[in-house]
Amino acid sequence: MTQLIQNRYRLDQRIGAGGMAEVYAGFDRQLDRPVAIKILHTQLQTDAHAVEQFQHEARRAASFSHQHIAQVYDVGHDPQRGPFYVQELIGGHNLDELLPVAAPQALLWLEQIAAAVAAIHAQGLVHCDIKPQNIRITADNSAVLLDFGIAQPAGTASGGAIYGTPHYLAPERAQGAAISTSADVYALGILLYVMLTGAVPIDGATPAEILRGHMQQGVPALRAQLPGQAQAIEALIARATERDPAQRISSVHALIESIQAITTAAQQHTQVIATLPKHATISFHNQTTQQVKPAQPAAPARPDNKAAAIPPLPPPPAATVIEAQHAAAAAPPSIPAAAPQLPAASSQLRKRRWLPQLAVALMALIVLGLMLIKLLPSAASSAVVSPTPTTVNTALQTPALLGLNIADAQQLAASQGLQVTVVDEVASSAPAGQIIAQDPQPQAPIDQDIPISVHVSLGPGAAQPAPDGESSPGAAQPAPDGGKGRDKGSDKGKGNDKGNGKGKDK
Indicate which CATH number applies to the domain containing 124.
1.10.510.10
Provide the pairing of β-strand 435-439 with 143-145.
Answer: unpaired
Q: What is the pLDDT along the chain (506 residues), one digit of tens a residue?
A: 679 999 999 999 998 887 788 999 999 999 999 999 999 999 999 999 889 989 988 988 888 989 999 999 999 999 999 999 999 999 899 999 999 999 999 999 999 999 999 999 999 999 999 999 999 999 999 999 988 888 999 999 877 667 889 999 999 998 889 999 999 999 999 999 999 999 999 999 988 899 999 999 999 999 888 887 778 999 999 999 999 999 999 999 999 999 999 999 888 765 544 343 333 332 333 333 333 333 333 333 333 333 333 333 344 443 333 333 333 333 333 333 343 443 444 444 444 555 556 666 666 666 555 554 444 443 333 333 323 333 334 357 888 888 888 888 888 888 787 877 776 677 777 777 788 888 778 877 877 666 787 777 776 655 443 333 333 223 233 333 433 345 433 333 333 444 443 333 44
| Residue after which a domain boundary falls, among 26, 53, 88 | 88
Whether residues 123 and 46 share a domain: the answer is: no
Whether residues 269 and 185 share a domain: the answer is: yes
Output the pLDDT for position 423: 61
Whether residues 160 and 203 share a domain: the answer is: yes
CA–CA separation, 177 and 172 (whole Å): 5
Phi and psi at residue 314, in whole multiples of 5°?
A: -70, 150
In a domain, 207, yes or no: yes
Indicate which CATH number applies to the domain containing 431.
3.30.10
Q: Is 8 exposed, middle or buried (0-12, 13-18, 19+ CB in 10 A)?
A: middle
Output the pLDDT for position 347: 44
Provide the pairing of β-strand 152-153 with 143-145.
Answer: unpaired
CA–CA separation, 506 and 500 (whole Å): 13
Q: Global pTM?
A: 0.55
Output the pLDDT for position 138: 95
Torsion angle, CA of 271/275/276/282, rounded to 10 degrees? 0
Tell me if 442 sits within 8 A of 100, measured CB to CB: yes
In a domain, 505, yes or no: no
Which range marks the domain in which residue 214 is found?
Answer: 93-273
Whether residues 114 and 257 share a domain: the answer is: yes
Whether residues 74 and 97 share a domain: the answer is: no
In a domain, 309, yes or no: no
Whether residues 110 and 24 share a domain: the answer is: no
Element housing 198 (H / E): none
Whether residues 82 and 97 share a domain: the answer is: no
CA–CA separation, 179 and 164 (whole Å): 11
Whether residues 79 and 106 share a domain: the answer is: no
Whether residues 137 and 219 share a domain: the answer is: yes
Residue 34 forms beta bridges with which residues? 27
Output the pLDDT for position 401: 86
In a domain, 324, yes or no: no
- How many structural domains is the chain composed of? 3
In a domain, 128, yes or no: yes
DSSP 365-407: HHHHHHHHHHH-HHHHIIIII----SS--SS-B----TTSBHH
Residues in the chain: 506
Residue 118 forms beta bridges with which residues? none
Whether residues 188 and 102 share a domain: the answer is: yes
- Which residues are within 8 A (CB) of 79 and not within 5 positions of it... i.e. 6 or more apart? none
Indicate which CATH number applies to the domain containing 62.
3.30.200.20
CA–CA separation, 442 and 464 (whole Å): 27
Q: Which residues of 431-454 are buried (b: 16+ CB within 10 A; e: fewer)?
A: bbbbbbbbeeebbeebeeeeebeb
In a domain, 115, yes or no: yes
Output the pLDDT for position 123: 94
CA–CA separation, 219 and 13 (whole Å): 41
Whether residues 127 and 14 share a domain: the answer is: no
Nearest CA among 498, 468, 461 for reference residue 482: 461
Q: What ranges make up the beta strands (E) of 290-441?
A: 420-426, 435-439
| Residue after which a domain boundary falls, among 33, 57, 88 | 88
In a domain, 103, yes or no: yes
3-state secondary structure 283-308: CCCCCCCCCCCCCCCCCCCCCCCCCC
Q: Which residues of 234-254 are buried (b: 16+ CB within 10 A; e: fewer)?
A: bbbbbbbbbbebeebbebbee
In a domain, 349, yes or no: no
3-state secondary structure 26-41: EEECCCCEEEEEEEEC
Active site residues: 129
CA–CA separation, 214 and 248 (whole Å): 14
Output the pLDDT for position 394: 39
Residue 136 forms beta bridges with which residues? 94, 144
Whether residues 111 and 247 share a domain: the answer is: yes
Provide the pairing of β-strand 152-153 with 33-40.
Answer: unpaired
Nearest CA among 145, 85, 84 for reference residue 110: 145
